[in-house]
Structure 1
Amino acid sequence: MDYSRFLVPQKEANEPYITRILAMRAFQLPNLISLAGGLPNKDVVPIVGCSFTCADGTTLTVDKDEMKKASTYQSTKGNPKTLSWIHKIHAKYHNPPILNDGNPNKRFSTVVTPGCMGAMHLLFRLTVETDDVVLLEEFSFGGTKKNMRLCGGELVGLKMDEQGIRTDDLKDALTRWQQRVSVASGRKLRKPRLLYTVPTGHNPTGVTTSFERKKEIYKIAQEHDLLIIEDDPYFYLQYSEDFVPSYQSLDTDGRVIRLDSMSKLAAPGFRVGWVTGPDAIIREIVAAQTCCSISISSLTELAIMKLFDHWGMDGFHQHINYLRDFYQKLRDRTEQMMHELLTDLIEWKSPEAGLYIWAKLKNNQNSLIFADMEFCEKHDVFVVPGVDFSCDLNNATSYFRICFTYTNQQEEAIKRLRNLVVDINARQ
Structure 2
Amino acid sequence: MSSELIGFLGILVLFVLLVLRIPVAIAMFVVGFGGVAILNSWSAAESLLASESFTLASRQELVVVPLFILMGNVAAATGMSRRLYDAAYAIIGQLKGGLASATIVGCGGFAALSGSSVAAALTMGKVSLAEMDRFGYDSKLATGSVAAGGTLGILIPPSTGFVIYAILAQESIGRLFVAGVLPGLLLLSLFVATVTIMCMIKPSLAPAGPSTSTSEKGRALLGAFPIIAVILLTIGGIYGGIFSPVEAAAVGAGLIIVAALIERTLTPRLFWEACKDSVVTTATVMLILIAAHLINPFLALSQVPTAVGEFLTNIQVPALGVLALILLSYLVLGCFLEGFAMLVLTMPIYYPVILQLGIDPILFGVLVVLVLEMGLISPPVGINVFIVKSVAPKVPLGDIFIGVLPFWFAMFVCLALLVAFPQIALILPNTMFD
TM-score (norm 2): 0.28
Higher relative contact order (CA 8 A, sep 6+): 2
Q: Which has the higher strand share?
A: 1
Q: Higher Cα Rg: structure 1 or 2?
A: 1
Q: Which has the higher helix share?
A: 2
